[in-house]
Structure formats: structure tokens, C-alpha cells
Amino acid sequence: MNQGSFIDAIVWFIMLTILFYLNREIEIMRLVGEIEGYLRLYKAVRDKALATTLADFKSVISKKGVEGIDIKLVEKRIKDLVELVFISPTDLDPFGIVRKIKHLLLTSEKTLKKELKSFVPSASDAEIENTLNLLEATRALNFIYKVVNHIYMIGRKFKSLWILMQLDAQLPFITEEVRALEGAIEAFSKGLPVGDSVGPIVAASLIRKYCKQEEMIEEVENTIIAKGIFENRTIYVIKAKGPGGSVGHLDDALEWVINNAGRVDAIITVDAALKLEGEETGSVAEGFGVAIGGIGVEKFNIEELATKHNVPLYAVLIKMSEEEALSVIDEKLYKGIEKAIANVERFIKTRTPENGIIAIIGVGNTIGVAP
């Protein structure tokens, strides 16, 4: 190789190195700009949710004519509650962990209700529950914003292209969840049913059709149990107590039904389910098992009860997107509710014995849905 060729090779290598470096820096700059755009969106939605929560609670205080309340103190406390942390119990020894999680959930729920009630003693349970729903949505938005911002800042601090690329790839899915929570803010502030309320709406419809008012009881806190007759079967319809934004204690209610009825021949759960892209909103699917989301405490307890008493588990699922699940319910979902009611009635006719006892559980947030 002559000297000229050697120099050309060195120059070419240096140029490739510079271009590779510049390409990496340009790609990092592009990712940073894109992620910052998403972060501005998340922050704006989080701030809007916090403002709505504060305005909603102030409205409750104003409507009830409560005097002598330091509004600034209330605002500070609400902002503190947005930063509230739920610490899961240790799973080093998993035995009994579900019982521990349930204890923590009940403790947090009762404590928060009591604290909000202390500001406005005359506020109704529904008003307190709706404010708690707003608070939960704001907490979720705040958590999402802080986690995304944390990963972004780590990636930018170390100029890690791979961290930024992985975060950028997840942002469309995260944004869908943020949009869903944004839709929930309006529904919770106005006390309107959301997509996740389809289970309680199905249960409420069955109660109105087949159960008597005098046979509707609240043996479990914030949970309605209604007894009725359908096709020579005794039905117990279980749902959270409305119209406040509650999800009730469905596992405890089912245990009460089994203990008092002596037996249950079938358990039917009705709930919302996330649809895949391309599936139709309001379409209904059948299943076997317990249709309950969340942490899984109630799902575990219902499965334990069913297994212990050898009870078949049937499920009816009404499909929707994540955004629709937390937004005000629409016509497509109402049509899905009608299909779900027909499916429940068909299950009872074809899958349960004559003179049987059936538990029907409407799963989901019962905001805007009475009783």
C-alpha cells in the first residue's frame, strides 16, 4: 500500500467515526425532543386532574355550607395525598399474602374516607367516594409522569441511546393509559357511569327485573346483595353500592351468600374487558373463571370459595379500550350491556339446575349506578 492510499484510508476511517458519532448524537436529540413532548402532555394532564380534584372538593365544602375551614390547608393535604404510597407486604414467605394485601387496602380506604369526611362531616358517602376516585386518578397520573421523567432523566444524564429508545417505544402505550385517566377525570367529577361500570349496570338491571326492593340488603359495607327468582332458580345479585364511585367488597358478599343460602350452584361474574385493536367496542365474550381485574385479592378469594364448595365459575366480558373503560359510557357499550344481560339469562337457563341457587356478581366501579 502506498503512502497516499494509507492516508486516504485513515481519513475515510476518521470521517466514518465522526459520522457515526454525529448520527448517534442526532438520534439522541430526536428522542429527547419526542420524549419531552410526551412529558409536557403528561404534566399538563396531571396538573388538570389535580386542579379538578381540588375544585371538586371545594365545591362539596361550598355546597354543604361548611364554615371555618382553612382552604389552603385542605389544598395542601390533597396535594400530599397525591404523593401517597401503597407499600406491598413482603413476599419472602408468600403464605397469607392475599390476606395481608386486603388488610392494607381496607386500612387505606377507611383512613382516606375518614380524613376527607373530617373536613366535611355533612358530605354524603357518594360525594366522598367520587372525590376519592378523582384522587386515585390524579395519583396514577402523577406516578406515571414521575416514572417516565425519571427514566428520561437517567437516559439523558448518561446519554444512553438504548434507554431513550426503549422508553420512546413504550410511550404510545403509556399515552393510551394517560388519555384513559384523563377521560375518567370528567366522569368522576360529574358522577357519571364509565365503561368500567358495565358490570354494575348489568347487575342493577337484573335487580330491577327480578328482585324485590325489600329483599335488597347491605350485609357487607358498600355492597348490595339482592335476592330474586328467575326461571325457577333463586338468584343473588351482588354489586357495589351506588351511585358513589365504589367497587364494594364482592368476595365478602359472596361468602355471606354461600353461608346464608347453604349452597351456590353457579357463580357468574360480569365485567369489562380490554379489547384488542380491531375488535368491536361492546362485543361480548363468554369465559370460565372469575372476571375481576385489579390487584387480585377479590379474584383469589372468590376462586378459593368456588373451589372449596365445588361451584362452577362462569364469566361474561364486555369488551372496550382502556380509554373507553374510564370515559363516560356510550351507546355501543349500552348495546353490549343488553347482550351481556341476555347471556347471563341464557347461562342460568342452560347451565344451572332447576331450583338452583345462582350468584351473579356485577364487577366494576358503580359510579352513577344505583342502587
Q: Are the CB atoms for 160 and 32 separated by under 8 Å?
A: no
**Domain match, 45 and 75 both:** yes
Residue 8 inside a domain? The answer is no
Please tell me the distance from the alpha carbon of residue 53 to that of residue 44, in angstroms, as a whole number.
Answer: 14
At 155-198, the pLDDT tens digits run: 999 989 999 999 999 999 999 999 999 999 989 999 999 999 99
pLDDT for the residue 4: 64
1 — pLDDT class (breaks 50, 70, 90): low
Residue that is last in its domain, among 144, 173, 190: 190
On whether the CB atoms of residues 256 and 141 are closer than 8 A, the answer is no
Q: How many CB atoms lie within 10 A of CB 61?
A: 17
**Is there a domain that residue 2 lies in?**
no
Q: Is the residue at 7 inside a domain?
A: no
* DSSP annotation of 364: S
Q: Is the per-residue pLDDT at 124 higher than 70?
A: yes
Residues β-bridged to residue 238: 225, 361
Domain count, the chain: 2
Domain boundary among 172, 190, 208: 190
Can you give the C-alpha Rg of the chain in angstroms? 26
Establish if 367 belongs to a structural domain.
no
DSSP state of 291: -
Residues 41, 164: Cα–Cα separation, whole Å: 18
Report angle CA 54, 56, 58 to the nearest 5 degrees: 70
Residue ranges making up the domain that contains 287: 195-362
pLDDT in tens, 242-274: 999 999 999 999 999 999 999 999 999 999 999
Distance from CA of residue 180 to its chain's centroid?
A: 10
Residues 259 and 233 in one domain: yes
Same domain, 229 and 339: yes
| Mean pLDDT across 269-291 | 95
Percentage above 90 pLDDT, the chain: 76
Is 170 in the same domain as 28?
yes
The answer to whether residues 67 and 186 belong to one domain is: yes
Give the CATH number, domain containing residue 264.
3.40.50.1470
